[in-house]
Amino acid sequence: MSNKKLNGGKLRIIPLGGLGEVGKNMMAYQYGDNILVVYVGLMFPENDMLGIDYIIPDFEYLLENRQKVRGIIVTHGHEDHTGAIHHVMEQLNVPIYATPLTRGLMEVKLSRGGMLEKVQLNTIQAGDKAQIGPFTVEFFHVCHSIPDGVGLGITTPVGLVIHTGDYKFDHTPVDNWPTDYAKLAEFSGRGVLALLADSTNADKPGWTPSERVIDPAFDQVFRAAKGRIIIASFASLISRMQQVANAAVRHDRKMAFVGTSMVENARMARKLGYLDIPDELLISVEQALKMNSKEVVLMSTGTQGEPSSIMGRLSTGTNRQFDIIPGDTVVLSSHPIPGNEESVYRTINRLFRRGANVIYEAVAPVHVSGHASQEEMKLMLNLVRPQYFIPIHGELRHLKQHALIAQQVGIPEEHIAVVENGQVVELEDGEMHIGERIPGGYVFVDGAGVGEIGPDVMREREILSRDGFVLVNLTLDRHTCHLVEEPEIITRGFVYAPEAEELLDATRQMVVQSIDCASNGRMQSDLEQTLKSFIYSKTKRRPMVFITMSKT
Ligand SMILES: [Zn+2]
Ligand SMILES: [Zn+2]
């Protein structure tokens, strides 16, 4: 198929994040002693991960092979592809390749962590070619919900691999720069060994609408709004900022960005020319708050119901600078990340309760996806015509669905590898094999630090949050081991005091009866077990149970 002379050997494709989940994308390509990394993403926690700020990929494999890592490519500026950058760069010293906007957004992050000087950033453009170890990487433009995104044509010693990154086929994108069909067709002409393509929307039939459909939806919102308009989106959704700015111009409102990440990203994107907002349109939040409410639109973060975000704080009335006032129109211009739906809808309800009119994806087209739907996936597969196919980015259901789509366009099932994080796929002598498994778990990041929180701690936090705890305090006579006082029982987050009286009395009695002097050490854990099953039999709940003993 290919007329290129190939060296043979083995290409290992190593998914470190983003396969089997939505977020924390990271992929490694290894040929011999050379590793090329694509993405350094983070994932926002699901609502059962308590007290976790975000999650980063487990990149232990890269640390174990640190001398082999030749470079990192970041295809676009979204958090799920860039967000772990300072965690990775603290431990790996390798060059990063990114387009100007992606680079600018990463610089914002790095300078916040005081790391900007330490990192070697290389600017690449769509159409460029870079030699990274044995990999010749050609960058081609793709549309997405942020400008300046690229996909990768990676010529490896075993053949040409296409890595789409996040993409859609938008004919009328906000920045007027459609996905590079011609380049994809050109790759196809050379013969493509494998395609790795974004699966995020693999369960969405049809075509993803153009970003343009948002403009009339925004017009409608702006026309109808009686007071302030507050639009929430991701801080990295640069295209959406442009659309809000355009609507503000059309409807004679001034625009203010709220929150550090929004302000900094907008400043960077304007400086680099990716965001066209005239100076006279932009005002500070302070100015906006002094103006007539019909004359302003504010743009903030917090679309996922994160309690610490501006939208989260507005919904609970705990925002420092300003509050929701009746008559505000709040627009959530985003889609809930899978797992976040519950907290998003809770936030929407709270905002309504405070008097805001809330407009979200389900009631008006104020958001479109940046990811290809099924027909676009077929187009990608048909343009590239790969020998082998590996769906990437998505939960297992998305990856499986994408595999079915590939079969529909004629790729044989045995030429498709559906794998999750940590499962290596090998390409050798024109064939694809499933390789070894390497660790690909979660690294939790909370305020306290990175990776100090394991699954055990998460489980404990979960129990505490759901069922609370029961603490039993026993004071025993040093010699006789008899109770000197009534057992003291303290509960938190478990039962409300009035209905608890009876239960606590019963518990107290049970404890008194169970006190057995024979063996103190064993007694304590036995008693904890007995108490747990007793409480469960009475309440069908499983709080954490602690027993403390003091002797006098
Ligand atoms: Zn993206
Ligand atoms: Zn993504």
Confidence of residue 502 (pLDDT cuts 50, 70, 90): confident
> Residue 144: nearest ligand to its CA?
1
Least confident of 175-189, 296-310, 424-438: 296-310
Confidence of residue 174 (pLDDT cuts 50, 70, 90): confident
> Residue 167: nearest ligand to its CA?
1
Which of these is catalytic: 198, 328, 446, 467?
198
Q: What does the alpha-carbon distance between residue 337 and residue 81 come to, in Å, rounded to a whole number? A: 15
Least confident of 46-50, 121-125, 480-484, 513-517: 46-50
Q: Say which residue, 40 or 530, is predicted with more confidence.
A: 40
Tell me the pLDDT tens digit for each residue of 315-370.
999 998 999 999 999 999 988 877 788 889 999 999 999 999 999 988 899 999 99
Question: What's the 347 CA to ligand 2 centre distance in angstroms?
Answer: 24
Q: Is 335 among the residues known to form the active site?
A: no
Q: Report the alpha-carbon angle 345-370-415, nearest 5.
A: 110
Query: pTM score, two decimals?
Result: 0.81
Which of these is catalytic: 78, 144, 367, 371?
371
Q: Which two tokens stand for residue 264?
A: 């900094």
Tell me the pLDDT tens digit for each residue of 434-476.
999 987 666 666 665 666 666 666 667 667 777 777 888 888 8
Confidence at residue 51, expressed as pLDDT on a 0 to 100 scale:
64
Starting at the edge strand found earlier in the chain, the sheet holding 159-163 runs 129-132, 135-142, 149-156, 159-163, 192-198, 386-392
Tell me the pLDDT tens digit for each residue of 221-242.
999 999 999 999 988 889 999 9
> Residue 22: nearest ligand to its CA?
2
Contacts of residue 113, defined as CB under 8 A and 6 or more positions apart, other chains included, come to: 86
Question: What's the 263 CA to ligand 2 centre distance in angstroms?
Answer: 22
Least confident of 34-38, 204-208, 257-261, 533-537: 533-537
Q: What does the alpha-carbon distance between residue 349 and residue 60 come to, in Å, rounded to a whole number? A: 41
Tell me the pLDDT tens digit for each residue of 150-170.
999 999 999 999 999 999 999
Question: What's the 149 CA to ligand 1 centre distance in angstroms?
Answer: 8
Confidence at residue 537, expressed as pLDDT on a 0 to 100 scale:
79
pLDDT at 144 over 90: yes
Tell me the pLDDT tens digit for each residue of 362-384.
889 999 999 999 999 999 999 99
Confidence at residue 137, expressed as pLDDT on a 0 to 100 scale:
98
Q: Say which residue, 28 or 503, is predicted with more confidence.
A: 28
Question: What's the 427 CA to ligand 1 centre distance in angstroms?
Answer: 27
Q: Is 198 among the residues known to form the active site?
A: yes
pLDDT at 504 over 90: no
User: pLDDT above 90 covers what percent of the chain?
Assistant: 67
Question: What's the 77 CA to ligand 1 centre distance in angstroms?
Answer: 7
Residue with tokens 């936090």: 461
Radius of gyration of the chain from Cα atoms? 28
Question: What's the 286 CA to ligand 1 centre distance in angstroms?
Answer: 31
Confidence at residue 518, expressed as pLDDT on a 0 to 100 scale:
47
> Residue 238: nearest ligand to its CA?
1
> What secondary structure letter does DSSP report for 68?
G
Q: Say which residue, 435 or 492, is predicted with more confidence.
A: 435
Question: What's the 338 CA to ligand 1 centre distance in angstroms?
Answer: 15
CA distances from 298 to 179, 288, 294, 330 (A): 31, 8, 11, 9
> Residue 234: nearest ligand to its CA?
1
> Residue 18: nearest ligand to its CA?
2
Across the range 196-218, mean pLDDT stands at 96
Tell me the pLDDT tens digit for each residue of 282-314.
999 999 999 999 999 999 988 887 777 899 899
Confidence at residue 1, expressed as pLDDT on a 0 to 100 scale:
44
Across the range 205-228, mean pLDDT stands at 95
Confidence of residue 6 (pLDDT cuts 50, 70, 90): low
Least confident of 19-28, 259-268, 513-522, 531-540: 513-522
Question: What's the 184 CA to ligand 1 centre distance in angstroms?
Answer: 20
Question: What's the 514 CA to ligand 2 centre distance in angstroms?
Answer: 56
Burial class (CB in 10 A: 0-12, 13-18, 19+), 130: middle
Across the range 20-44, mean pLDDT stands at 95
Going by DSSP bridges, is the β-strand pair 159-163/192-198 parallel, antiparallel, or unpaired?
parallel
Question: What's the 538 CA to ligand 2 centre distance in angstroms?
Answer: 47
Question: What's the 279 CA to ligand 2 centre distance in angstroms?
Answer: 31
Report yes or no: 478 and 100 within 8 Å, Cβ to Cβ: no
Question: What's the 170 CA to ligand 1 centre distance in angstroms?
Answer: 14
Q: What does the alpha-carbon distance between residue 258 and residue 284 come to, in Å, rounded to a whole number? A: 8
> Residue 76: nearest ligand to its CA?
1
